[in-house]
Amino acid sequence: MARLRVGLAQINAVVGDLDGNAARIVAAYDAAAAEGCDLVVFPELTVTGYPPEDLLLKPAFVAAAGETIAKLASLTGDCAAVIGFPEQADDLYNSAAVCARGQVLGVYRKQLLPNYSVFDEQRYFKASTEIGPRFEIAGLSVAVSICEDAWEPGPIVAMAQSGADVVVNINASPYFAGRVRQRETMLAGRAVQTGVPIVYVNLVGGQDELVFDGASLVVDAGGAVVGRAKQFEEDLLVVELDPATGAAGRIEPVLDPVREVYEALVLGTRDYVRKNGFTDVLISLSGGVDSSLVAAIAVDALGAEHVNGVMLPSRYSSEGSVADAVALSERLGIRTYLVPIEPAQAAFEGMLAPVFEGRAPDVAEENLQARIRGNAVMTISNKFGWMVLSCGNKSEMATGYATLYGDMAGGFAVIKDVPKTLVYALCRDLNARVGHDVIPQAVIDKPPSAELRPDQKDTDSLPEYDVLDPIIEGYVEDDESVSQLIARGFDNELVRRVARMVDRNEYKRRQAPPGVRVSRKAFGKDRRPPITNRWPG
Amino acid sequence: MARLRVGLAQINAVVGDLDGNAARIVAAYDAAAAEGCDLVVFPELTVTGYPPEDLLLKPAFVAAAGETIAKLASLTGDCAAVIGFPEQADDLYNSAAVCARGQVLGVYRKQLLPNYSVFDEQRYFKASTEIGPRFEIAGLSVAVSICEDAWEPGPIVAMAQSGADVVVNINASPYFAGRVRQRETMLAGRAVQTGVPIVYVNLVGGQDELVFDGASLVVDAGGAVVGRAKQFEEDLLVVELDPATGAAGRIEPVLDPVREVYEALVLGTRDYVRKNGFTDVLISLSGGVDSSLVAAIAVDALGAEHVNGVMLPSRYSSEGSVADAVALSERLGIRTYLVPIEPAQAAFEGMLAPVFEGRAPDVAEENLQARIRGNAVMTISNKFGWMVLSCGNKSEMATGYATLYGDMAGGFAVIKDVPKTLVYALCRDLNARVGHDVIPQAVIDKPPSAELRPDQKDTDSLPEYDVLDPIIEGYVEDDESVSQLIARGFDNELVRRVARMVDRNEYKRRQAPPGVRVSRKAFGKDRRPPITNRWPG
């Protein structure tokens, strides 16, 4: 009976890096061939990285990607390779080339082009209506499909009906919390529906807002997971696939839900920093839980020696703020600087006194402090070439409880898609996992405060976070209306106030740095409301 | 012989303002009916404004838009009305309701959904494959189409073949330089091709980055423009249309190319400021040509009494800077403040001295000054509730010759899509038009400088703008490659350097405020490159 030895080459491709991606493909191909694979499968648009966005509008880029796939095909031997690339024919297609023995044996063109959420594939590609060729590999008939093709029954059912023994599905499937289980449930159902095993290969790595989480897998014809690659790491998973008798491969565990988010944040941060040519980062440490978590993530992403903290106390900072930041820094082993901002604050107040004559202090003076800090971290960043990581969480981004050009300043906003309640869970989970308080308990225990005026607390302006976060989830992630939220039992006045805050602060979010998407709807390309908008929610 | 008296109701709808838009529709309907119209035509998605973006993902919003169209239909009399709205049926459609005598007579669903450039219609809508109903109005058979439907031959040719005497085309067609002529050429061709007159109604007004320029028109069956509404203003144009003998209506002139851009900037600024609930703006006046032009535009948009200038000289500012800004302010009649930034600069230098010990001054100190100014304008903005207008031009946005959170700070970046060479042309045109130097000649004549270090000139870092701007146009607007630009005769090294600057500064542009699109490809939703990007161009 025919058996297929297949390698799932879960690589970390870099957008636009055609030569680098080709080298990554060749290395994984050689490793798979050395392990005796009949077939090695790479992710969607392997050659360009995903998503290449408007690079696809550049004819020279698309032409170069075509030349790269031809060169890669010429390097193949008996082991076949499925490699994703943008294919310029009568139109542009999101395609997979099947290559072996120095040639492109055939090409499959994606049929279902996602154009929702973070996806804009109809901006670039034409949808194919063909189920594509079958490939005889190791005595089995192999069909190829791409990502979205698996999420509707049509394409894979047609492939099975046309006689495929195995369906390959190549992906660039971005992470959000719980996504692995959703994928596996869908794939198991599709395998059972069609009676064919599915080889699902995902990209891994961070690209701007997105993290591709890997976790490539094989489901057998009965829907059982018979192989699973690592989450959040490059991997080459080899699975022996026998459609008649089943299959066997390494099965990596799925991380628990909170840990999974943490690892997504680590990978997203590491790749954004490094792929953009930076080695070191700078974090403004307030002694609060957000900046403490970001510092811990940065250390896991880049190593403590590449993480720099700066403490920027003002006249309103509590004693504990600097002490807590110092305690954190010592536990993480990172370098810190202390720059009290009083001189700049006093200078600005003097400069603006004639303009502000007769006006009482208000939120303008609070934002002024935050922007002095923003300026200080950016000036240090410019001087030393360190990327600033900003520390705003999703609850703040949603409500606009943040200062534009102040605490929002930075190259990457690590936890912008993490609600405050999840920030606490991540801190607790981290401390429990490492077995000691990396995040000092005092940081977790104290009431959140921006410390921009005497005795300020977040709850002066916002409801408690365990009340606020579910409203944000309903309004932002589920597009529930104000009326629906009230009908679900949330306080009428509170829901209206939160909806208004969310909508009125779109202008701020539009100027925020990118950050890692970990929810099913993040601010950024995932959610595109107008700024000018009179709909009351 | 049948004659159709048609009103082209070019209204300024506001996104999300269902009740307000309904009131605008009723007012224009009543005016058209009072003028004896048989038919009044409103723009695409009149009820919601355009583009409603992700509001369309909110079921409550779509439902409310449906209720609005039902209510509007109930108010109609004998005069028929074509009104654009999002229609929830088996899926969501971009539709036009034809209403009369209290009812919806029928609905047309858009067939061609643009999903390129600034358009994302396939994110929201399903494309119809039906040519839709004919409507008997004043003895003529009227077909309805929507925007993109006219840009391919299919839909309107089919409508003509099915017996339509007149085709209505409702639009939300965003402005860019030269767009009116392009539209009129296309529509004339389509009319000649099909032998039917076309009633083309466009939206007018600013919405975030976009300006809808109006200029609604009627072309007769011979392709002649027989009626044209105003550019950049609300208008109700009434045209007597007799398919047999021709037509007659008011024909407004088309503005000359430079003036057209100016009026687009004025309308885009006015609507962004006012539709977001602001009355006044604040501009940092450097004495340079960019901030001078922005101030002039703001005065035309909002009135001099609503425009505030602040001069923020540093130790490196030339004597002329403040004098030129004062001269400009006097000519414009705007209020100004003078806030020298030396105290803050000295304070920051002192605060950061221990951190920067042993390091020579460099671009960090230059950006520091720009960010002190950014902080000052934002603090004044927060205190008085004035929106900050930032003054960076497209040449600077392209090359990153601007400081994030510094001169880039603001709510709206008026001229971010205007290359420096066009900035000069706009200033000269303005002075010539008003007959005196609103923009002082000294401002136009002096070499551009950021004045962030002694004797700095833009040309220290950038080529001359008349060399730079065409390279940017090719690389950014036309997606030409480095090789293509070199083949066109541009200097090899210079093209590579410019391409690198454009690509490496995407992270800055991503955090820039929105601004008016006036070119065929603006930074913003019109151009979506990845930030993390190793393609060398």
What percent of chain A has pLDDT above 70? Answer: 100
Residue at token pair 């059912």:
A157
Report if residue B534 sits inside a domain: no
- As a dihedral over the C-alpha atoms of residue A119, residue A123, residue A128, residue A134, rounded to 10 degrees, the angle is -50
Write the CATH number for A294: 3.40.50.620
One domain, residues A168 and A264: no
Lowest mean pLDDT among A425-434, B311-320, B361-370: B311-320
> Please, are residues A326 and A311 in contact by the beta-carbon 8 Å criterion?
yes
Q: Does B360 touch chain A (CB under 8 A)?
A: no
Q: Could you report the per-residue pLDDT of B56-104, keeping only the tens digit for each?
A: 999 999 999 999 999 999 999 999 999 999 999 999 999 999 999 999 9
Q: Does A262 touch chain B (CB under 8 A)?
A: no
Report if residue B121 sits inside a domain: yes
Give the domain extent around A211: 4-245
One domain, residues B123 and B267: no
Q: Does A374 touch chain B (CB under 8 A)?
A: yes
Choose the closest CB to B375 out of A54, A60, A372.
A372
Q: Does B348 touch chain A (CB under 8 A)?
A: yes
The amino acid sitting at B336 is T
Contacts of A14 in chain B (CB under 8 A): 532, 534
DSSP state of A53: G
A527 to chain B: closest CA residue: B54
What's the confidence (pLDDT) of residue B418? 98
Inform me whether the pLDDT recorded for A248 exceeds 90. Answer: no
| Intra-chain end-to-end CA distance of chain B, in Å | 61
Contacts of B123 in chain A (CB under 8 A): 115-116, 120, 528
One domain, residues A240 and A273: no
> Please, are residues B290 and B415 in contact by the beta-carbon 8 Å criterion?
yes
The angle formed by the CA atoms of residues B466, B467 and B469, to the nearest 5 degrees, is 70
Tokens read off for A519:
């929810």
Tell me the pLDDT of chain A averaged across its residues.
Answer: 97
One domain, residues A263 and A240: no
Question: Does B51 sit behind a cis peptide bond, omega within 30 degrees of 0 on the bond before it?
Answer: yes
User: Is B90 exposed, middle or buried, given 0-12, 13-18 or 19+ CB atoms closer than 10 A?
Assistant: exposed
CB contacts under 8 A, B 232-261 vs A, are none
One domain, residues B202 and B276: no
Report if residue B512 sits inside a domain: no
Chosen from B383, B508, B527 to mutate, greatest number of chain A CBs within 10 A: B383
Q: Which of B434, B458, B482 is the last residue of a domain?
A: B458
What's the confidence (pLDDT) of residue A1? 56
One domain, residues B243 and B280: no
Report if residue B504 sits inside a domain: no
Chosen from B276, B339, B375, B482 to mutate, greatest number of chain A CBs within 10 A: B375
Contacts of A51 in chain B (CB under 8 A): 530
Quick one: average pLDDT of A515-520?
Answer: 98
For the ranges A289-293, B246-250, B317-321, the maximum mean pLDDT occurs at: A289-293
> Please, are residues B41 and B9 in contact by the beta-carbon 8 Å criterion?
yes
Given pLDDT bands bounded at 50, 70 and 90, which one contains residue A511? very high
B530 to chain A: closest CA residue: A53
Q: Which residue of the set A79, A99, A147, A427 is catalytic? A: A147
Tokens read off for A61:
């880029």
State phi, psi for A257 to the nearest 5 degrees: -55, -40
DSSP state of A147: G
Q: Which of A245, A279, A312 is the last residue of a domain?
A: A245
Tokens read off for A508:
């701020």
Tokens read off for B442:
């000294």
Q: Which residue of the set A79, A87, A99, A110 is catalytic? A: A110
Q: Could you report the per-residue pLDDT of B5-63, keeping only the tens digit for each?
A: 999 999 999 999 999 999 999 999 999 999 999 999 999 999 999 999 999 999 999 99
What's the confidence (pLDDT) of residue B242? 84
Quick one: average pLDDT of A77-81?
Answer: 98
Long-range contacts of B244-251 (CB under 8 A, 24+ apart): B244/B1, B245/B1, B246/B220, B246/B222, B247/B197, B247/B218, B247/B220, B249/B218, B251/B225, B251/B226, B251/B227
DSSP state of A128: P
Residue at token pair 């796939």:
A69
> Please, are residues A244 and A1 in contact by the beta-carbon 8 Å criterion?
yes
One domain, residues B236 and B307: no
Write the CATH number for A64: 3.60.110.10
Inform me whether the pLDDT recorded for A28 exceeds 80. Answer: yes
Q: Which of B395, B430, B458 is the last residue of a domain?
A: B458
**Nearest-neighbour CA in chain A from B276: distance (Å):** 6
Other Cβ atoms within 10 Å of B31 Cβ, number: 15
One domain, residues B214 and B179: yes
A147 catalytic per annotation:
yes
Q: Could you report the per-residue pLDDT of A259-288, keeping only the tens digit for each?
A: 999 999 999 999 999 999 999 999 999 999
Inform me whether the pLDDT recorded for A244 exceeds 80. Answer: no
Q: Does A353 touch chain B (CB under 8 A)?
A: no
> Please, are residues A210 and A118 in contact by the beta-carbon 8 Å criterion?
yes
What's the confidence (pLDDT) of residue A320? 86
Quick one: average pLDDT of A361-370?
Answer: 97
Report if residue A390 sits inside a domain: yes
Report if residue A352 sits inside a domain: yes
- As a dihedral over the C-alpha atoms of residue B440, residue B443, residue B446, residue B449, rounded to 10 degrees, the angle is 170
Inform me whether the pLDDT recorded for B244 exceeds 80. Answer: no
Tokens read off for B190:
């389509």
Size of the A and B interface in Cβ pairs below 8 Å: 250
Given pLDDT bands bounded at 50, 70 and 90, which one contains residue B2? confident
Q: Inspect the interface and report whether the beta carbons of B348 and A351 lie closer than 8 Å.
A: no
CA distances for A74 relative to A43, A68, A77, A102, A105, angstroms: 19, 10, 8, 4, 11
Quick one: average pLDDT of B190-201?
Answer: 97
Query: How far apart, in whole angstroms, are the C-alpha atoms of residue A153 and residue A191?
Result: 10
Q: Inspect the interface and report whether the beta carbons of A276 and B532 lie closer than 8 Å.
A: yes
How is B58-74 classified by DSSP, letter by letter? -HHHHHHHHHHHHHHHH
Tokens read off for A132:
């594509």
Q: Could you report the per-residue pLDDT of A148-158, keeping only the tens digit for each?
A: 999 999 999 99
Contacts of A52 in chain B (CB under 8 A): 530
A420 catalytic per annotation:
no
Q: Inspect the interface and report whether the beta carbons of A532 and B374 lie closer than 8 Å.
A: no
DSSP state of B232: S
State phi, psi for B410 to the nearest 5 degrees: 160, 170
Tell me the pLDDT of chain B averaged across its residues.
Answer: 97
One domain, residues A264 and A236: no
Report if residue A535 sits inside a domain: no
- How many C-alpha atoms does B137 have within 13 Å on its Cβ side? 33
One domain, residues B217 and B142: yes
Q: Which residue of the set B37, B79, B99, B147 is catalytic? A: B147
Q: Inspect the interface and report whether the beta carbons of B347 and A346 lie closer than 8 Å.
A: yes
CB contacts under 8 A, B 396-425 vs A, are 404-405, 409, 411
One domain, residues B301 and B363: yes
A385 to chain B: closest CA residue: B364
Which residue, A121, A160, A166, A122, is CA-closest to A141?
A: A166
Inform me whether the pLDDT recorded for B243 exceeds 80. Answer: no
> Please, are residues B339 and B310 in contact by the beta-carbon 8 Å criterion?
yes
Query: How far apart, in whole angstroms, are the C-alpha atoms of residue B220 and residue B195?
Result: 8
A44 catalytic per annotation:
yes
How is A87-100 classified by DSSP, letter by letter? EESSSEEEEEEEEE
What's the confidence (pLDDT) of residue B363? 96
Q: Could you report the per-residue pLDDT of B369-418, keeping only the tens digit for each?
A: 999 999 999 999 999 999 999 999 999 999 999 999 999 999 999 999 99
Quick one: average pLDDT of A311-328?
Answer: 94
C-alpha B29 chain-centroid distance: 26
Q: Does B117 touch chain A (CB under 8 A)?
A: no
Other Cβ atoms within 10 Å of B338 Cβ, number: 15
Tell me the helices (H) and strands (E) count for chain A, helix number first.
16, 20
Collect all residues with Cβ–Cβ distance below 8 Å to A191 and sequence separation of at least 6. A197, A198, A219, A220, A221, A222, A223
Contacts of A374 in chain B (CB under 8 A): 371, 375, 405
> Please, are residues B362 and B431 in contact by the beta-carbon 8 Å criterion?
no
Contacts of A530 in chain B (CB under 8 A): 15-16, 51-53, 55, 207-208
3-class DSSP state of B459: helix
Q: Could you report the per-residue pLDDT of A185-236, keeping only the tens digit for each?
A: 999 999 999 999 999 999 999 999 999 999 999 999 999 999 999 999 999 9
Inform me whether the pLDDT recorded for A246 exceeds 80. Answer: no
User: Is B277 exposed, middle or buried, given 0-12, 13-18 or 19+ CB atoms closer than 10 A?
Assistant: exposed
Inform me whether the pLDDT recorded for B1 exceeds 60. Answer: no
Q: Inspect the interface and report whether the beta carbons of A60 and B484 lie closer than 8 Å.
A: yes
Report if residue B470 sits inside a domain: no
CB contacts under 8 A, A 437-496 vs B, are 479, 481, 483-484
B367 to chain A: closest CA residue: A379
Collect all residues with Cβ–Cβ distance below 8 Å to B227 and sequence separation of at least 6. B8, B217, B218, B237, B239, B247, B248, B249, B250, B251
Q: Does A528 touch chain B (CB under 8 A)?
A: yes
Query: How far apart, in whole angstroms, are the C-alpha atoms of residue B154 and residue B149?
Result: 8
Q: How many domains does one find in chain B? A: 2
**Nearest-neighbour CA in chain A from B439: distance (Å):** 26
What's the confidence (pLDDT) of residue A2? 79
Q: Does B186 touch chain A (CB under 8 A)?
A: no
Q: Could you report the per-residue pLDDT of A326-339, keeping only the tens digit for each?
A: 999 999 999 999 99
Q: Could you report the per-residue pLDDT of B426-477, keeping only the tens digit for each?
A: 999 999 999 999 999 999 999 999 899 988 999 998 999 999 999 999 999 9
Q: Does B272 touch chain A (CB under 8 A)?
A: yes
CA distances for B151 relative to B112, B188, B231, angstroms: 9, 12, 21
3-class DSSP state of B240: strand
Q: Does A20 touch chain B (CB under 8 A)?
A: yes
> Please, are residues A87 and A66 in contact by the beta-carbon 8 Å criterion?
yes
Q: Does A360 touch chain B (CB under 8 A)?
A: no
Alpha helices (H) along A313-419: 319-332, 342-356, 363-384, 394-399
Inform me whether the pLDDT recorded for A178 exceeds 90. Answer: yes
Inform me whether the pLDDT recorded for A519 exceeds 90. Answer: yes
State phi, psi for A440 to the nearest 5 degrees: -55, 140
Helix pair angle (A257-275, A289-302), 10° resolution: 70
Q: Does B318 touch chain A (CB under 8 A)?
A: no
Choose the closest CB to A14 out of B350, B404, B534.
B534
> Please, are residues B523 and B417 in contact by the beta-carbon 8 Å criterion?
yes
Residue at token pair 């600077």:
B396
Choose the closest CB to A115 out of B59, B115, B354.
B115
Q: Inspect the interface and report whether the beta carbons of A18 and B61 lie closer than 8 Å.
A: no
Lowest mean pLDDT among A433-442, B241-250, B282-291, B370-379: B241-250
One domain, residues A269 and A205: no
Q: Inspect the interface and report whether the beta carbons of B367 and A378 lie closer than 8 Å.
A: yes
Q: Inspect the interface and report whether the beta carbons of B371 and A378 lie closer than 8 Å.
A: yes
B1 versus A482: which is more confidently predicted? Answer: A482
B375 to chain A: closest CA residue: A371
pTM assigned to the model: 0.97
Pairing of strands B387-390, B281-284: parallel
